[in-house]
Each structure stands twice: as structure tokens, then as C-alpha cells.
Amino acid sequence: MAKYVMKTFGIAAAVSTAVLCSGFASSAFAMSPYQANYQFNYNGKNVGSASRNLTQSGNNWTYVFAAKAIGMASATETSNFSFSNGKITSKSFSRTSKILIHNNTMSINFNPNSKTINTKKDDKARSFAWQNGVLDELNAELQIREDLKNGGLKSKYYLADAKDVEARRFVKQGNESVKTTYGTFDTIKVVMQHDKPGRETIFWLAPKLDYLPVKVSHVDQKTSYSLLLTGYKGPTK
């Protein structure tokens, strides 16, 4: 359970902002470092916390998502990339997780010179043919936010995971006001489509905070997980 939770919210940190922005004015933000903190709930109960942290050194960017369910599990995901002319170029991605006494690792290396994308999950290594513009679970969020600022989204975004490169699709389901301990925000509600019945992932994105996800919810049949914003340091509208 915990392993799936951490992966789910890594995706949430990333591709959650894939949503049409009609109904809100285009943001004038440039990509900027920021930090956001969240409450982590399991089946409606507060069991831990999570954070997102974007830092910059020249044209080298690092995006980190960390989550901890007290007494249950912890995970950290890190994306390294460059950014130019509104486009993210992936360099590497890693995930480490601990579930009770069990540790798991996953890594992705983007190699434009050899035209390969290499992944490794625990002891299983794979290699895929190079595709331009492939993102990881974290930096996809940032790419989509940049696309929103520039007035348009792609119909699909291609993301690399341990097993393959696949397209992700998102559907807008209107606007909602979301109350958090950090404040109340007008948001865009987005649903990530799943092939598996009984599974649903929803994101609430706040244009005032540079389209930051202020709430994330995932339901898998009788089990549910969610994130709710508790703090933020970064650009505001």
C-alpha cells in the first residue's frame, strides 16, 4: 500500500497540473524556486506529511518530492533537468522508498548522446529507444505549468517510468474553491484517467500560486489517499 501511495503522489507532484486553463487568466510567472508543504491523509486520517522543493543552480534545476507516513513508510523522488525557451530537458530521476524495514530504489537516466533512456528498479535494468521531450513524474508538472503560461497544452505528455515510456491524459472537470490551513484558493479541478475500474486521481490547481496543486486525492476501490497544502514559499499572483 505505502509503495503505491508514494508513487501516486510523486505523479501528483508532477503531472497533476496537466489541465486546460480556460476560465483563468494566463500567469505571468517565470519558473522560479519554491517550497510547498502538505498534510498526508490515508482513508481520511492524517498520517504524515509531504513536501515539494524546486531549486536552481544556473541552468541546472532540481525538483524534490518527499513524503512520510509516520510508522509506515517514507519516500523521496528527485528530478534533475535543464530549462530553455519554455522547454524542460530531462537529465535524471531517482526514487528511494522505505516500507517498514524494506527499501526500494528506482532510477532513470536520459542519454541523448547514446539515444537511450535507461532505467533500473531494484535489480531490474531496462533500456528504451530515445524519444525527444520525454519527461519524468516530477518535471512533467513543471513543463505543463510552463505550457499553461504560454497558452496551450499538448494532447499528451510522454513520461518515463521503470517499465516503459507512456502517454498520460488529463480531463478538466470545472473549477472549485479549496480550503486549506494555508488559505482558501480558487482552483481548477483535473482528473487523471485510469484504465483500471474503481481507481480515480483528482488534482486541484491554484493559479494564484503558479498553478501549484493545493490538493490531491487518489481512490483505489476502498482505499483513499490525499494531500492538502499546509505551507508555501514561492511566487504568488
Work out the pLDDT band at 151, boundaries 50, 70, 90. confident
Q: Domain containing 46: what range?
A: 2-233
Is pLDDT at 19 greater than 80 in this prediction?
A: no
- Average pLDDT on 152-161 reads 83
Lowest-pLDDT range, 22-26, 197-201, 228-232?
22-26
- Average pLDDT on 22-36 reads 64
- Give the pLDDT confidence score for residue 58 in this predicted structure: 94
- Average pLDDT on 24-53 reads 81
Segment 56-109, tens digit of pLDDT: 999 999 999 999 988 778 899 999 999 999 999 999 999 998 887 788 999 999
Coil, helix or strand for 176? strand
Provide the CATH number for the domain around residue 13: 2.50.20
| Exposure class string for 19-56: b at 16+ Cβ within 10 A, else e | bebeebeebebebeebebbbbbbbeeeebbbbbbbbee
Cα distance between residue 216 and residue 224, in whole Å: 11
Lowest-pLDDT range, 124-128, 135-139, 221-225?
221-225
- Give the pLDDT confidence score for residue 152 in this predicted structure: 67
Give the residue with greater pLDDT, 166 vs 237. 166
pTM: predicted TM-score of the whole model, two decimal places: 0.81
Work out the pLDDT band at 162, boundaries 50, 70, 90. very high
Give the residue with greater pLDDT, 14 vs 194. 194
For all residues of the chain together, what is the average pLDDT? 83
- Residue 72, classified by CB atoms within 10 Å of its CB into exposed (0-12), middle (13-18) or buried (19+), is middle
Pairing of strands 45-57, 34-42: antiparallel
Longest dimension (CA), the chain: 48
Give me the phi and psi of 8, to 5 degrees please: -55, -45
Report how many domains make up the chain.
Answer: 1
Give the residue with greater pLDDT, 220 vs 87. 87
- Give the pLDDT confidence score for residue 195 in this predicted structure: 67
